[in-house]
């Protein structure tokens, strides 16, 4: 086709566009379409009904999921200790907690169309929190005793849907979701009232013409209908409905005559709730268009075919003329290397080439501008002053704030590279917008876990900006913690009125970050000038000798106390430097390894898997982390040197396996688990591998998958529910691990077991 001239292509296309539909419509208007039209209409009606059913089920499922997510946030834990209305209103703090719960409930219903009201009842309390009445006593609110009967229908941990009529006269379908130890740490009840009219919108979404819809409970009770007077009455009394529900099939359609008119009834039963979705449409009305089309097409067929041939030729010549002229012009001015192709193929290639060049140029300009600014700021932080810097920072005074992620190693261990890059992008963009007017802010990623924030402001305004800057830094600290799940320490330098001194201010901010070693993470620290010779240097040579003596005797308790003594003395020295602290702990690590080697004790096995211990210690933020690391290190040495450790290892192994089997539903942090058992994390991994031949994560996943296999065969839970029951918080992870260990997805495993049983 690309080699056929454009004029001939247009003539052929236009003729086909006119002739083929005409011939098709002529055939379609024959006896065959009349014969099969009722079946086609029946299938279309059923498809529309199923679409409406799925739309309604999806809306109800989404609302149920939103409700369970709200319960899982533990928002209701804030008020679970208040059992009476008077206690809840006893002070401002209690009321604020209740209002926070109310706001979360209102936020949920704003996301969902058609919700009449939403209320929460705490078990054994005398009040409810609702979106329509606010916080009120139970006796002033509508009765809730009907929920007990409704929950008898509950299966699993999900809620139940109950059609009913409110005291206000509004017909609703209520979602009753109980809170208990399976779904939340708070016991109580959530009720979401969805308007029946909203469900009617879903059920009427694709209906055409004179149609009526019905939504029936399994017992035939009418849940939703156009005629509101029939709501909550027995739908089986309506014409043909008893016959419809007695068909035995979960979906289908049938034709019946009602009051001299032919009608089609389509029905579909929900596999989730057991509700019946029924629609009634006039077949005579639906067939009018088909009969009219049959007559009209026969008349138009001949005229269209005759005129089409003539019009196609003239249109092809007329339409192709501008294109042919444009192609000749482009070919005369540029060589795109397109030969043996018609005009359309040539233009398509030319426009693609032009679009690619435009997009590439636009992208290059944006990247160059961003890269140029970032490069200029990096150069400024290194002590250079590029010419571009005056365009980025218009004022004369500078100040540097460095935001450093606490426990950066743990953060890296819990996130992948793409997630960290995304966090970095969000944080750099966010920081620039959080400072008040009058301060120009540019943020760049400085190095591992640190973002440098350059503040630029007018001379003489530093004192009046101190408070707004501190408030902005507090916001940065909180929002960063919420985003990445880790606290941050912020070091703030002094000010300077010359760009050449910016690198020195960066050094000051980084020095304040090092103070995190003593004061702990999550702080905002400001630079204060202090004389270098005012810093006191201390060492712990005596402590080192005592620790080596304790190590030789296997006195782990003595080592722990000596490490606590070192930490206490360091914290007591306000003027001690970061370098002095790191020297103390590096020296202690060095003399320990040297002592072991001098006593012909191999150190490779003891520190295997730790990597470079000095690098790991340098990456730690606080004295507590250093002490914890050394405690674990010395504990492993003593355990390895203790010749009588075999029975202990067996006991530890039993405790570890028991712990994993008891807590497999939870998100287990192995480091915390090791502390609870009383051994180091690396030693715990060694025990598990020797007992099972598997890593800890592999053994935990195996326990979870074995439990999931039982639930797949013995329970009626869905795949999503089973995933949550065995400790997976999304179905994708569950499917991946199940396929890894069983060689097939959970759904296939369930089908195979059901067939064999």
Q: Which residue, 71, 66, 85, is CA-closest to 134?
A: 85
Distance between CA 562 and CA 548 in Å, rounded? 11
Sign for the pseudo-dihedral over CA of 672, 676, 680, 683: negative
Q: Which residue, 211, 199, 156, is CA-closest to 178?
A: 156
Domains of the chain: 42-284 (3.30.450.20), 393-529 (3.30.70.270), 557-642 (no CATH), 644-757 (1.10.10.60)
Tell how strand 171-179 and strand 160-165 pair up.
antiparallel
- For residue 686, give both structure tokens: 């060694």
Tell how strand 488-492 and strand 524-526 pair up.
parallel
**380: which residues sit within 8 A by CB, 6+ positions away?**
386, 389, 454, 499, 502, 503
The answer to whether residue 192 scores a pLDDT higher than 90 is yes
With residue 607 as reference, give the H or E element that holds it.
none
In terms of Cβ atoms closer than 10 Å to its own Cβ (0-12, 13-18, 19+), residue 21 is middle
Question: Biggest alpha carbon distance in the chain?
Answer: 111
Q: Which residue, 440, 441, 494, 490, is CA-closest to 466?
A: 494
Top pLDDT among 314 and 479 is at 479
With residue 117 as reference, give the H or E element that holds it.
strand 115-122
Q: Within a 10 A sphere around the Cβ of 387, how many other Cβ atoms?
A: 7
Distance between CA 414 and CA 417 in Å, rounded? 10
- For residue 383, give both structure tokens: 């002590």
Q: Please report the pLDDT score of residue 307 as a whole number.
A: 74
> Residue 193: pLDDT band by 50, 70, 90 thresholds?
very high
**681: which residues sit within 8 A by CB, 6+ positions away?**
632, 670, 671, 674
The answer to whether residue 651 scores a pLDDT higher than 60 is yes
- For residue 95, give both structure tokens: 């009321």
Q: Please report the pLDDT score of residue 346 as a whole number.
A: 62
Distance between CA 160 and CA 147 in Å, rounded? 10
DSSP 39-90: HHHHHHHHHHHHHHHHHHHHHHHHHHHHHHHHHHTTGGGGGTT--SHHHHTS
The answer to whether residue 531 scores a pLDDT higher than 60 is no
The answer to whether residue 35 scores a pLDDT higher than 70 is no
In terms of Cβ atoms closer than 10 Å to its own Cβ (0-12, 13-18, 19+), residue 637 is buried
Could you give the strand order of the β-sheet that contains 276-282, starting from the edge strand earlier in sequence?
222-225, 211-216, 276-282, 261-269, 251-258
**What's the DSSP call for residue 253?**
E
* Residue reference for tokens 């409970």: 217
Interhelix angle 646-663/681-692, nearest 10 degrees: 90
Q: Please report the pLDDT score of residue 584 as a whole number.
A: 82
**pTM for this entry:** 0.40
The answer to whether residue 315 scores a pLDDT higher than 80 is no
Q: Please report the pLDDT score of residue 308 as a whole number.
A: 67
What does the pLDDT look like over 502-523, one tens digit per residue?
889 888 888 888 888 777 788 8
In terms of Cβ atoms closer than 10 Å to its own Cβ (0-12, 13-18, 19+), residue 215 is buried
The answer to whether residue 490 scores a pLDDT higher than 90 is yes
Interhelix angle 31-72/92-110, nearest 10 degrees: 170
- For residue 223, give both structure tokens: 């849940």
What does the pLDDT look like over 319-365, one tens digit per residue?
667 766 776 676 666 655 555 566 666 666 677 776 766 776 666 66
* Residue reference for tokens 């009418």: 222
Residues of the chain with pLDDT > 70: what percent?
Answer: 81
What does the pLDDT look like over 438-464, one tens digit per residue?
888 988 888 778 999 999 988 888 778
3-class SS of residue 388: coil
What are the two backbone dihedrals, phi and then psi, of residue 37, each rounded to the nearest 5 degrees? -65, -40
Tell how strand 115-122 and strand 211-216 pair up.
unpaired
Distance between CA 207 and CA 45 in Å, rounded? 8
Q: Which residue, 434, 437, 439, is CA-closest to 457?
A: 439
* Residue reference for tokens 């016959």: 243
β-bridge mates for residue 278, sequence order: 214, 267
pLDDT, the chain, mean: 80
653 CA to centre of own chain: 36
Q: Please report the pLDDT score of residue 647 as a whole number.
A: 42
**323: which residues sit within 8 A by CB, 6+ positions away?**
6, 343, 344, 347
Give first-to-last CA distance, the chain, whole Å: 59
**C-alpha to C-alpha distances, 26 to 16, 41, 87, 299, 444, nearest whole angstrom:** 15, 20, 79, 9, 70
Tell how strand 222-225 and strand 134-137 pair up.
unpaired
Q: Please report the pLDDT score of residue 173 as a whole number.
A: 92
Q: Which residue, 488, 485, 492, is CA-closest to 521?
A: 488
DSSP 589-604: HHHHHHHHHHTT---T
β-bridge mates for residue 161, sequence order: 175
What does the pLDDT look like over 419-443, one tens digit per residue?
888 888 888 888 888 888 888 898 8
* Residue reference for tokens 């002592």: 595
Interhelix angle 646-663/696-714, nearest 10 degrees: 40
Q: Which residue, 560, 626, 529, 534, is CA-closest to 587?
A: 626
- For residue 575, give both structure tokens: 């003027």
* CB distance 434 to 475 below 8 Å: yes
In terms of Cβ atoms closer than 10 Å to its own Cβ (0-12, 13-18, 19+), residue 307 is exposed
User: Stretch 236-243: mean pLDDT, rounded?
Assistant: 82
- For residue 631, give both structure tokens: 């405690």
* CB distance 744 to 708 below 8 Å: no
Distance between CA 590 and CA 613 in Å, rounded? 10
> Residue 243: pLDDT band by 50, 70, 90 thresholds?
confident
Distance between CA 441 and CA 469 in Å, rounded? 11
Q: Within a 10 A sphere around the Cβ of 224, how many other Cβ atoms?
A: 27
β-bridge mates for residue 224, sequence order: 215
């Amino acid at each position: 086709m690309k080699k056929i001239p454009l004029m001939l292509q247009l003539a052929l296309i236009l003729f086909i566009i006119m002739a083929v539909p005409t011939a098709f419509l002529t055939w379609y208007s024959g006896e065959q379409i009349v014969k099969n039209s009722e079946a086609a209409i029946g299938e279309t009606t059923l498809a529309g009904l199923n679409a409406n059913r799925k739309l309604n089920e999806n809306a109800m499922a989404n609302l149920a999921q939103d409700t369970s997510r709200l319960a899982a946030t533990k928002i209701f834990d804030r008020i679970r200790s208040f059992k009476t209305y008077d206690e809840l209103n006893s002070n401002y703090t209690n009321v604020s907690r209740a209002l926070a719960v109310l706001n979360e409930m209102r936020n949920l219903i704003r996301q969902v169309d058609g919700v009449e009201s939403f209320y929460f009842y705490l078990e054994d309390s005398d009040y409810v929190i609702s979106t329509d009445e606010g916080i009120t006593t139970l006796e002033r609110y509508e009765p809730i005793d009907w929920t007990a009967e409704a929950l008898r229908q509950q299966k699993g941990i999900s809620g139940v849907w109950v059609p009913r009529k409110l005291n206000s006269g509004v017909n609703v379908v209520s979602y009753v979701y109980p809170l208990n130890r399976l779904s939340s740490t708070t016991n109580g009840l959530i009720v979401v009232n969805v308007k029946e009219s909203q469900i009617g919108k879903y059920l009427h979404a694709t209906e055409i013409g004179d149609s009526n819809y019905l939504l029936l409970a399994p017992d035939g009770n009418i849940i939703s209908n156009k005629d509101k007077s029939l709501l909550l009455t027995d739908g089986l009394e309506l014409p043909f409905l008893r016959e419809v529900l007695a068909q035995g099939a979960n979906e289908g359609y049938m034709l019946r005559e009602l009051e001299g008119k032919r009608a089609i009834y389509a029905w579909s039963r929900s596999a989730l709730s057991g509700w019946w979705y029924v629609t009634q449409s006039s077949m005579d009305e639906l067939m009018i268009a088909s009969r009219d089309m049959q007559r009209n097409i026969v008349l138009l067929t001949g005229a269209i075919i005759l005129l089409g041939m003539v019009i196609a030729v003239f249109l092809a010549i007329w339409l192709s003329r501008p294109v042919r002229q444009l192609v000749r012009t482009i070919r005369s001015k540029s060589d795109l290397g397109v030969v043996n192709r018609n005009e359309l193929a040539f233009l398509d290639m030319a426009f693609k080439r032009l679009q690619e060049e435009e997009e590439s140029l636009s992208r290059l300009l944006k990247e160059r501008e961003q890269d140029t600014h970032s490069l200029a700021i990096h150069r400024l932080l290194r002590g250079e002053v590029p010419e571009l810097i005056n365009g980025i920072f218009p004022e004369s005074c500078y100040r540097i704030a460095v935001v450093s992620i606490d426990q950066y190693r743990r953060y890296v261990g819990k996130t992948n590279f793409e997630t960290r890059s995304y966090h970095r992008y969000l944080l750099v963009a966010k920081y620039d917008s959080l400072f008040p007017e009058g301060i120009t802010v540019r943020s760049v990623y400085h190095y591992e876990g640190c973002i440098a924030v350059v503040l630029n402001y007018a001379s003489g305004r530093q004192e009046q900006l101190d408070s707004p800057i501190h408030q902005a830094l507090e916001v940065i600290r909180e929002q960063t913690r919420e985003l990445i799940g880790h606290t941050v320490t912020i070091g703030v330098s002094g000010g300077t009125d010359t760009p050449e001194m910016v690198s020195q201010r960066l050094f000051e901010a980084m020095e304040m970050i090092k103070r995190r070693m003593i004061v702990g993470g999550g702080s905002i620290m400001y630079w204060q000038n202090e004389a270098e010779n005012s810093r006191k240097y201390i060492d712990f040579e005596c402590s080192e000798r005592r620790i080596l003596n304790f190590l030789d005797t296997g006195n782990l308790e003595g080592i722990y106390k000596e490490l606590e003594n070192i930490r206490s003395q360091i914290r007591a020295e306000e003027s001690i430097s970061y370098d002095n602290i790191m020297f103390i702990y590096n020296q202690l690590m060095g003399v320990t390894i040297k002592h072991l080697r001098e006593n012909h004790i191999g150190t490779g096995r003891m520190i295997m898997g730790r990597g470079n211990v000095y690098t790991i210690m340098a990456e730690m933020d606080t004295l507590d982390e250093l002490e914890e690391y050394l405690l674990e290190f010395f504990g492993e040495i003593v355990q390895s040197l203790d010749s009588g450790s075999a029975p202990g290892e067996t006991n530890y192994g039993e405790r570890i396996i028991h712990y994993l089997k008891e807590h497999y539903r939870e998100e287990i942090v192995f480091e915390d688990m090791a502390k609870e058992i009383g051994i180091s994390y690396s030693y715990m991994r060694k025990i598990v591998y020797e007992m099972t031949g598997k890593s800890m994560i592999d053994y935990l996943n195996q326990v979870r998958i074995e439990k999931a296999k039982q639930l797949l065969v013995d329970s009626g839970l869905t795949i999503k529910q089973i995933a949550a029951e065995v400790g997976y918080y999304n179905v994708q992870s569950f499917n991946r691990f199940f396929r890894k260990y069983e060689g097939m997805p959970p759904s296939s495993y369930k089908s195979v077991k059901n067939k064999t049983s």
